[in-house]
Homo-oligomer: A and B are copies of this chain.
Amino acid sequence: MAPAQEQLEGEQIVASNEDGANCIEKSRVTVIGSGNWGSVAAKLIASNTLKLDSFHDEVRMWVYEEVLPSGNKLTNVINETNENVKYLPGIKLGKNVVADPDLENADFLDLVGGDIAVKDATMLVFVTPHQFMDAICKRLVGKIKPDVEAISLIKGMEVKMEGPCMISSLISDQLGINCCVLMGANIANEIAVEKFSEATVGFRENKEVAERWVLLFSSPYFQVTAVQDVEGVELCGTLKNIVAIAAGLVDGLEMGNNTKAAIMRIGLREMRAFSKLMFSSVRDSTFFESCGVADLITTCMGGRNRKVAEAFAKNQGKRSFDELEAELLQGQKLQGVSTAKEVYAVLSNRGWLEMFPLFTTVHEICVGRLPPTAIVEYSEHKPKCCLA
């Protein structure tokens, strides 16, 4: 694949040439975020930048600094051991991954010399918790190259009354840059040990840029496909969590595989219908990709939303989701309950509740208006208009 010509800047056409590539600017990648998934993403990327002539070897990883129980700083330990000992212990990230301190380290953003700061990055990978994105974008304004390309790996966009608030749009709007998304059936710890998996890149218009992201993430054990449907791909990553709540309820009620598969299918139908009502550009075929059906399956078989919902049903709804989340997830957070609430508000506002019996019922169960058993009773009513 040819280097992305459209990313060239006049003063940088002659770039370093240490590995004999043509004198065309190489892409510099910075990963913004260093949790479990962010660390795995850095590992995937770092193995590729070593192989691909059109990328600088070094991958910068922006780390929210923490002092470890040993008294050492997390960034120092990552750079010394080549492991994210806190969020991905036991996995070598690649020696070309360089941890940089957190966003609050304003000096970091202002570094000028050398090629180490975000200001020199040409490709930014966002993989932080979604609630930090607004603040991060505000910090980055004016600090990045104007033609930098971005990709968001962040699941958990919010669905506001006026419609979904896509993380990719937030990045695009606040920073004035193009932003793709990467979603899929991606349990970080399984990919970290190189078990076979897939992912989907969603892009808006520029296919060459999408192919460059595919190149950067792909490996024999991590197959990436690009589709021109950024909203569809991103919505899958959020809406599936509502379906996982429903699947967990079915598990807790011990209804069997048959009912669970039916509920997952109805959930996938509502994901598709909701996405298409929100964005007419959303494609049916996106839901056949890893971000769609595969991520839904993984999430409904083993995810945290499923787990807490199962416990909720087993307790006949007598212990709240908040209580069970605190007990079962050791500080991790559920997305499904809040997403169900947000989607319910949109549906209610637009008079669409009856068209989405599964989404509606999940929310009403979560807030205690309906018993857990309603998940199968209410899903029996077909939507009043044909959504398929």
Interface residues of A (CB under 8 A from B): 185-187, 190-191, 195-198, 220-221, 223, 255-266, 268-269, 272, 284-285, 287-290, 293-295, 297-298, 301-302, 376, 379-380, 382, 388
Contact = CB atoms under 8 A, between A and B. Distances in A.
B294 A196 contact: no
Contacts of A256: 187, 190, 195
13 contacts: A185-B261, A185-B265, A186-B258, A195-B258, A195-B259, A196-B262, A198-B262, A198-B266, A223-B380, A257-B298, A265-B289, A268-B288, A268-B293
A197 B258 contact: yes
The 9 closest A-B pairs by CB, nearest first: A265-B294, A261-B297, A196-B376, A261-B298, A261-B294, A185-B261, A190-B258, A187-B258, A257-B302
B197 A294 contact: no
Pick the most buried of A198, A295, A388: most chain B CB atoms within 10 A of its CB: A198
Contacts of A195: 255-256, 258-259, 376
Given A256-B187, A380-B220, A264 B388 contact: no
B259 A197 contact: yes
A130 to B, nearest CB: 21
Contacts of A284: 284-285, 288
Given A264-B294, A285-B388, A388-B285, A257 B301 contact: yes
B258 A298 contact: yes
Contacts of A263: 196
Contact of A185 (B220, B262, B295): B262
Contact of A265 (B198, B268, B382): B198
> How many copies altogether?
2
A288 B259 contact: no
A262 B376 CA distance: 27
A256 B288 CA distance: 20
A373 to B, nearest CB: 10
A89 to B, nearest CB: 18
A196 B272 CA distance: 22
A288 B293 CA distance: 10
Given A223-B382, A255-B195, A388-B285, A261 B376 contact: no
A382 B196 CA distance: 13
A272 B297 contact: no
Contact of A255 (B196, B266, B285): B196
Nearest to A263: B196
- Give the one of A260, A266, A289, A376 with max B CB within 10 A: A260
Contact of A187 (B257, B264, B266, B298): B257
Contacts of A302: 257
Chain B CB within 10 Å — which of A185, A190, A388 has the most? A185
Nearest to A301: B257
Given A190-B257, A195-B258, 10 more contacts: A186-B258, A187-B256, A195-B259, A257-B297, A257-B301, A258-B298, A261-B294, A265-B290, A268-B293, A301-B301
Contact of A258 (B191, B257, B272, B288): B191
Contacts of A262: 185, 196-198, 223, 290, 294
A220 to B, nearest CB: 5
A189 to B, nearest CB: 9
